[in-house]
Amino acid sequence: MTRGRQRGFLYVEVLVAVLVLALCLPPALAALSSATRAAAAERVANGRRFRLNGMMEQLLATPHAALDAAASAAGAATVPTSYSDAAGTPQRRLVFIARYDADNADGDGNGFTGGDSGLLWLRVSIEGQPASAVETLAAS
């Protein structure tokens, strides 16, 4: 009499398969968990970037004379201007505007002393998070 084909798995084979799954499942779930946390953090960072870039676009669309007046009113590159969000706003955007000395005509190496005519430095940052910022120069 000839033996027929094997029909199904041996008990040992099932136990080995369950053991392999039990050993591989926790690291796989941990990897998915960290990916989910990273995605959430990236979503927050993207939201900040969009807010910063949106404010910068508004500034660049503002007439140069108005920005120059705001720079005069602030008096220093470290003082937020009236273009900043109202105090108490969540993730408040601070806007800094100052005249900029690109050619270093006064020879002191400081870009914020002896500003060039018609050249402004613009910076938008999130209050309490100075690393979250965008800045540019704008000419009249």
Where are the chain's structural domains? 11-139
Q: What is the pLDDT of residue 5?
A: 66
Q: For the purposes of burial, counting CB atoms within 10 Å of the CB of 100, is it exposed (0-12), middle (13-18) or buried (19 or more)?
A: buried
Would you say how long the chain is, in residues?
Answer: 140
Ranges of residues in the chain with a pLDDT under 70 are: 1-6, 115
- Rounded CA separation 53/56 (Å): 5
**Contact between 95 and 66 (Cβ < 8 Å):** no
pLDDT above 70 coverage of the chain, percent: 95
Q: Which pLDDT score is estimated for 2?
A: 53
